[in-house]
């Protein structure tokens, strides 16, 4: 990968990943407002906004770093995808976060529809609580992933160590 | 460079344990009835 392309992909990866984190933080704020507010109009507006945000921002933002920019950056550079534990940990966090997000698309759509049709009731409180918990867990996971990307804690997997050993042996011979 | 692979760092072991516990907790919550269908009375 050329240095220019690498810089471009890295920039896109940072923007998308941090954008995902920021949107999940806003989603959590909306989920808490929807759960705690006594104003019916406000609650309806909150769940409509959450539905739109999830469909058009959070879900697309979760897939691009996981399936495109992340693997390109890892595999197109000496870092590799499974050579360092911190990259492997980030990959696992992103897979789990995206899976939890996809599991919660149904309740998000349900509240969105109920808010649009004006059929929200106290019986929906369980779903509302669930979205707060899921958004908080997602935010925490993405904060850990961001910290891993910045600190890059030491530690090479056995596969990474073997590849590095082979490359050094080859370059010395 | 030594010919033996390095030990797994402590932070990886801690991370692995937390990750497995969280995954099991999520799966257990959903298997024990804390699922979405039970909380969505208006779903067709």
Q: Is A87 exposed, middle or buried (0-12, 13-18, 19+ CB in 10 A)?
A: buried
Q: Distances from the Cα of A19 to the Cαs of A117, A156, A159, B17, in angstroms?
A: 30, 29, 32, 28
What are the structural domain ranges in chain A?
3-172
Q: Which residue's entry shows tokens 């976060």?
A: A97
Take residue A77 and report the two structure tokens written for it: 């550079």
- DSSP letter for each residue of A33-85: HHHH---HHHHHHHHHHHHHHIIIIIHHHHHHIIIIIHHHHHHTSTT-SSSBH
**What pLDDT score was predicted for residue B10?**
94
Q: With beta carbons under 8 A apart, name residues in chain B contacting A153.
A: 9, 11
Reduce the DSSP state of residue A84 to 3 states and report it. Answer: strand
Give the single-character DSSP code of A156.
B
Taking 50 as the threshold, does the pLDDT of residue A58 lie above it? yes
Asked if B39 lies within 8 A of A165 by C-beta distance, the reply is no
Q: With beta carbons under 8 A apart, name residues in chain B contacting A126.
A: 38-39
C-alpha distance from A125 to closest chain B C-alpha (Å)? 8
Asked if B6 lies within 8 A of A106 by C-beta distance, the reply is no
Q: What is the pLDDT of residues A20-42, one digit of tens each?
A: 999 999 999 999 999 999 999 99
∠ at Cα A76 (A74, A82), nearest 5°?
35
Q: Which of B31, B33, B40, B41 to mutate to test the interface with A (most CBs of A within 10 A)?
A: B40
- The C-alpha atoms of residue A115 and residue A40 are separated, in whole angstroms, by 9
Q: Which residue's entry shows tokens 């995808």?
A: A81
- The C-alpha atoms of residue A22 and residue A19 are separated, in whole angstroms, by 5
- The C-alpha atoms of residue A21 and residue A27 are separated, in whole angstroms, by 10
Query: What value of ipTM does the predicted structure carry?
Result: 0.73
Residues of A with CB under 8 A from a CB of B: 85, 89, 92-93, 96, 100, 103-104, 106-107, 110, 114, 119, 121, 123-124, 126-127, 130, 153-156, 158, 161-162, 164-165, 168
**What pLDDT score was predicted for residue B34?**
61
Q: Which sign, positive or negative, has the C-alpha torsion A153, A82, A17, A103? A: negative
- The C-alpha atoms of residue A87 and residue A17 are separated, in whole angstroms, by 14
B34 versus A90: the higher-pLDDT residue is A90
Q: Is A6 exposed, middle or buried (0-12, 13-18, 19+ CB in 10 A)?
A: middle
Reduce the DSSP state of residue B32 to 3 states and report it. Answer: coil
**What pLDDT score was predicted for residue A146?**
95
Q: What is the pLDDT of residues A107-165, one digit of tens each?
A: 999 999 999 998 988 888 889 998 999 999 999 999 999 999 999 999 999 999 998 88
Residues A107 and A130: beta-carbon distance below 8 Å: yes
Residues of B with CB under 8 A from a CB of A: 1, 3, 5-6, 8-9, 11-12, 15, 19, 22-23, 26, 30, 34, 36, 38-43
| Interface contacts A/B by beta carbons within 8 Å | 61
Residues A92 and B19: beta-carbon distance below 8 Å: yes
Q: What is the pLDDT of residues A76-114, one digit of tens each?
A: 888 999 999 999 999 999 998 898 889 889 999 999 999
Taking 80 as the threshold, does the pLDDT of residue B42 lie above it? no
């Amino acid at each position: 990968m050329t240095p220019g392309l690498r810089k471009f992909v890295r920039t896109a990866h940072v923007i998308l990943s941090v954008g995902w984190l920021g949107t999940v933080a806003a989603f959590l704020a909306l989920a808490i407002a929807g759960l705690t507010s006594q104003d019916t109009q406000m609650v309806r507006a909150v769940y409509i906004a959450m539905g739109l945000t999830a469909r058009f921002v959070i879900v697309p933002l979760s897939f691009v770093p996981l399936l495109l920019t992340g693997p390109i950056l890892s595999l197109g550079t000496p870092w590799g995808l499974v050579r360092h534990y911190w990259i492997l940990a980030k990959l696992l966090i992103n897979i789990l976060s995206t899976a939890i997000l996809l599991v919660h698309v149904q309740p998000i759509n349900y509240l969105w529809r109920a808010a649009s049709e004006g059929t929200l009731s106290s019986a929906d409180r369980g779903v509302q609580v669930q979205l707060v918990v899921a958004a908080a867990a997602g935010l925490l996971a993405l904060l850990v992933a961001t910290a891993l990307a910045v600190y890059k804690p030491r530690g090479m997997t056995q596969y990474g160590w073997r590849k590095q050993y082979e490359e050094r042996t080859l370059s010395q011979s | 460079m030594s010919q033996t692979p390095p030990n797994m760092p402590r932070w990886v072991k801690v991370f692995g344990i937390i990750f497995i516990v969280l995954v099991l907790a999520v799966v257990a919550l959903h298997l024990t009835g804390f699922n979405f269908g039970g909380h969505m009375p208006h779903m067709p």
